[in-house]
Amino acid sequence: MIFVFDLDGTICFDGVKISDDILSALTTLEKRGHPLVFASARPVRDMLSLLEMFPSQFLIGGNGSIVRNFGQIEVVQEISDSDFEYLKRLIKSNDLDYLVDGQWNYSLKNRNDEKTNINCKVDANHLAKNVSMNELTNIIKCSLLNLSVLTEIEGGLSDLTVEIKRDDETQSLDLTAKNVNKYTTFRNYFPQEPYVAIGNDENDIELLRNAKISVAVGNHSELDFADFHMTEKNIAQFLLNFRAFKVSEKS
């Protein structure tokens, strides 16, 4: 059975590395014949520093907007040109901090990383360039950072054809193309295969809800429906013991 893993908050807890015991559990699953898929809010570029031991696995980045498929980067759905032009005007007129991801390069302005804690995660392997927004193509994701008027800014986005993920803790908004998420992209490439999903927050709801077996890491209330609930301390052992668990199939 395929295992689909979120990264941050699920198998990575400091933003920069996956612990040795979890890496060992992942490689054991692979040796037992379970294909591994990794699905993250990060663009594929920023997943690579965490997954150097898995150079050929299928990756879903940008909450479903981009993938690595047989080693090739493929854009699934980009933000429309008209929506991005609006976002650029919004950023300029409100002097907002932002992270905009194209197919590979990015544009970053973040003046309060103590709150967002993303600078160390962006292009950690120095594979891309930080360029102006006007130089980017194939915009897969736009994050508006450190928003002091979060609700007001979010309300101004209602006419755009984008998915909006709100993070009250960091006062940020993540924007991707409409009707694209980790689950829809997974099913585009794996139409029928049953899978185990492991996630930790609202970005993983559809992925877990449609899984044969769902595993929630942490205590996010929107994932209360999951079959199993794990913590950082016991997720590795759960994966190693997977064959011992018997879960009734979902209808």
Does the structure show a pLDDT above 70 at 13?
yes
pLDDT at 219 over 90: yes
Q: Is the pLDDT of residue 245 over 60?
A: no
Total domain count, the chain: 2
Whole domain around residue 155: which residue ranges? 81-177
> In this predicted model, what pLDDT tens digit does every residue of 29-48 receive, in sequence order?
999 999 999 999 999 999 99
**Final residue of a domain: which of 161, 177, 193?**
177
**Whether 130 and 117 share a structural domain:** yes
Q: Are residues 67 and 97 in the same domain?
A: no
Both 19 and 67 in one domain: the answer is yes
Encode the chain in three state secondary structure.
CEEEECCECCCECCCCCECHHHHHHHHHHHHCCCCEEEECCCCHHHHHHHCCCCCCCEEEEHHHCEEEECCEEEECCCCCHHHHHHHHHHHHHHCCEEEEECCCCEEEECCCHHHHCCCCCCCCCCCCCECCHHHCCCCCEEEEECCCCHHHHHHCCCCCCEEEEEECCCCEEEEEECCCCHHHHHHHHCCCCCEEEEECCHHHHHHHHCCCEEEEECCCHHHCCCCEEECCCCHHHHHHCHHHCCCCCCC
Same domain, 170 and 189: no
- Using the predicted structure, report yes or no on whether residue 250 has a pLDDT greater than 60: no
User: 194 and 113 in one domain?
Assistant: no
